[in-house]
């Protein structure tokens, strides 16, 4: 059996506004992953800028910050065997035009930066993002 790992997921404002929280979270649960922490909050621009700092020099950065701070988000810690890879597969490609039908982005997103969800891309990123949004534990 694979080692259990944790990952971070953010359901973005556009998905919250469209009432997709339950649908998105249920996809992780149906896969056999466990939601261990859950919160809803408004992301401050300063936190969003830290979260997306790796995109700071890109032309789409201001629009990304505007989109993520446009309304409340749902923050989740998802746990299970190979959780990072499973969550990334469930959410689909970053660009909704490349996301396959059946993935969260393939089914619900239409354009960037409104791609419904963010998920950690590796173990170190997951630890950093969980700490950023839920605190050290």
Active site residues: 118
Q: What is the pLDDT of residues 85-110, one digit of tens each?
A: 999 999 999 999 999 999 999 999 99
How do residues 39-64 score in pLDDT, each as one tens digit?
A: 999 999 999 999 999 999 999 999 99
At residue 23, the pLDDT reads 97
Section 15-37 average pLDDT: 98
57-65: Cβ within 8 A, 24+ apart: 60/112, 60/113, 63/113, 64/113
pLDDT of residue 93: 96
If you average pLDDT over residues 79-83, what whole number do you get? 97
Please give the average per-residue pLDDT across 97-124, as a whole number.
95
């Amino acid at each position: 059996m694979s080692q259990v790992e944790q990952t971070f997921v953010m359901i973005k404002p556009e998905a919250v506004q469209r009432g997709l929280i339950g649908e998105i979270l249920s996809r992780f649960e149906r896969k056999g992953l466990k939601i261990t922490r859950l919160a809803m909050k408004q992301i401050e621009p300063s936190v969003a800028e830290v979260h997306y700092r790796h995109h700071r020099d890109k032309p789409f950065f201001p629009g990304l910050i505007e989109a993520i701070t446009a309304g409340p988000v749902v923050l989740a810690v998802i746990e299970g065997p190979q959780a990072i890879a499973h969550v990334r597969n469930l959410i689909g490609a970053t660009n909704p035009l490349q996301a396959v039908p059946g993935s969260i982005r393939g089914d619900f997103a239409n354009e960037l930066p409104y791609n419904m969800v963010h998920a950690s891309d590796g173990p170190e990123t997951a630890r950093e993002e969980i700490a950023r949004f839920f605190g050290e534990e």
